[in-house]
Amino acid sequence: MASESSSQRPLNVLFVCLGNICRSTMAEGVFRNVAQSHDLIGQIDSAGTAAYHAGESPDSRTMATLRRHGITNYKHAARKVTKDDFLKFDYLLGMDQSNLQDLLDVRDSVVAGLRRKASTPGDDVRVAEVRLFGDFGRGGKLHARVGGGEVVEDPYYGGANGFEEVYKQVVRFSESLVDYLESQKQ
């Protein structure tokens, strides 16, 4: 879906972690900042695979890290991934292997449901591409295997250092994702 639609309309990206208050919100805030001048990017959002923190603001350490790096206009209320997200977004990007597996499982059920509803057998069922955010490497290189890239460890139970490490990773992955999407336009 993503590569075919990239030349037709802006692409929508959803970042996903467990609770949607640390890693995925950091990724959303950073990616909004990195991609703000790119017309190839449409909606940017984040969600969690669990609803532990639904309705809550991002972790204060996430927000402090974003502010330290000049990202001051970010607001978000945590939410859980829905089946509709697989139809609304072009990319759902998990932060670790557990998030990725949860997303792949939901995607499989969405695809199965769409196939049952398809009017003609063999109708093309289009859903979001599911990947690790770390599958996007330097220079826009996409890891050959889904989930073969770098994971973003959860900093929730650690100190400020963990949030700074997550920030560095998501900046790198955000730039790589934009490079990848640019390369797909051609």
| Active-site position among 22, 23, 59, 61 | 23
Active-site residue, 17 included: yes
| Active-site position among 17, 22, 45, 107 | 17
| Active-site position among 22, 84, 154, 172 | 154
Active-site residue, 90 included: no
The count of other CB atoms within 10 Å of the CB of residue 153 is 14
CA distance 112 to 115: 5
Active-site residue, 85 included: no
Query: In the numeric block, which tokens belong to residue 82?
Result: 């829905």
The sign one gets for the Cα dihedral 95, 99, 104, 107 is negative
Q: Are the beta carbons of 122 and 103 closer than 8 angstroms?
A: no
The count of other CB atoms within 10 Å of the CB of residue 141 is 14
Angle between helices 160-185 and 60-68 (to 10 degrees): 70
Query: In the numeric block, which tokens belong to residue 122?
Result: 């063999």
166 contacts: CB under 8 Å, gap ≥ 6: 22, 23, 26, 65, 152, 153, 155
- Checking DSSP bridges between strand 129-132 and strand 136-137, what pairing results, if any? unpaired
Which amino acids are annotated catalytic? 17, 23, 154
